[in-house]
Amino acid sequence: MPHPSPAGAELQATLAALHLHPVKSGGALTPASALLVETGLDLDRAWMVVDADGDMLTQRELPRLALLSPQLKGGDLVLRAPGMLALHLSLDRAEAPTRVRVWDDVVPAYEMGALAAQWISDFLRPDLHSNLRSDPRSDPPSNSSRPLRLVRFDPEHRRLSSQRWTGAVQAENQFTDGFPLLVTNTASLDDLNARLADRGQAPVTMARFRPNLVLAGLQAWDEDHIDTLTVSTDDGPVRLQLVKPCVRCSIPNVDPVTAATSDEPGATLATFRADPRMDGGLTFGINAVVLEGFGHTLRCGQAVTGSWKF
């Protein structure tokens, strides 16, 4: 693994960007500021697409989800997608309660209604049909002709991160993969892009890695060796603990602009980012939990300090 900044060096950085993804696996908002709540950035991964059986769907199965463009407008979440009229979802309304599966967790949620279900089904149908065509010998899934559904996490439910990684901290999540925040580093992306160029590949953007907080001012891969971060906000300090390297699946290989899939940047990451801490998984970014600062507003440009693990 690349070496970190020298031992004893002061950790100073800047909060360069904020990303939040209202719909799990959909496109991101990149606001100048965001409210930090118990589950991470407010409204991050609050909605999710599920199949007829309530199981989560992501870009792994449906890469067109990358083209889902969110906007917060007044009291609505507005979703736009190529070839579709805008879908307006009131932030204050949901319909019938249901239960859905996100990874191994079965959690309570709320249906967003028949119109939302039809809209998301119509948009993602090309991916569903493509999946069937990719193996014509296989039988269609029993629910392939039934609408997909859009659901919202039940805010009364506490879905906790694995305390194998968080220790005594009880970190809440909505539909994130497992932790309330993901932290990345612009210098690490620069290093990856230099390696991609050396292999004759095009550069990628940070959108591929779907972070929440992006740091600038560090050396490449410093995030691997950080223990805690403190962000200086107008409301007081926000303290985070970096707890688990983020093992990357196939989603970074989906172009967030076109939804086209390829082998990169995964193939290049495989040449140098096999992480022994994660049994050889390819890592980019670090999952974090909040130690202090709920209700504070994070803003791009805020100063960040911290401590190293050694």
| % pLDDT > 90, the chain | 89
Q: Is the pLDDT of residue 135 over 60?
A: no
Q: Is the pLDDT of residue 7 over 80?
A: no
Q: What is the dihedral of CA 275, 277, 278, 281, to 10 degrees?
A: 10
User: Can you give the pLDDT at residue 5?
Assistant: 59
pTM of the predicted model over 0.75: yes
pLDDT in tens, 216-274: 999 999 999 999 999 999 999 999 999 999 999 999 999 999 999 999 999 999 999 99
Would you place residue 10 in the very low, low, confident or very high pLDDT band (cuts 50, 70, 90)? confident
Taken in order 57, 58, 60, 63, the sign of the CA dihedral is positive
- Per-residue pLDDT averaged across 126-144, rounded? 51
User: Can you give the pLDDT at residue 78?
Assistant: 98
Q: Is the pLDDT of residue 4 over 80?
A: no
pLDDT in tens, 51-94: 999 999 999 999 999 999 999 999 999 999 999 999 999 999 99
Q: Is the pLDDT of residue 306 over 70?
A: yes
The mean of the pLDDT values for the chain is 93
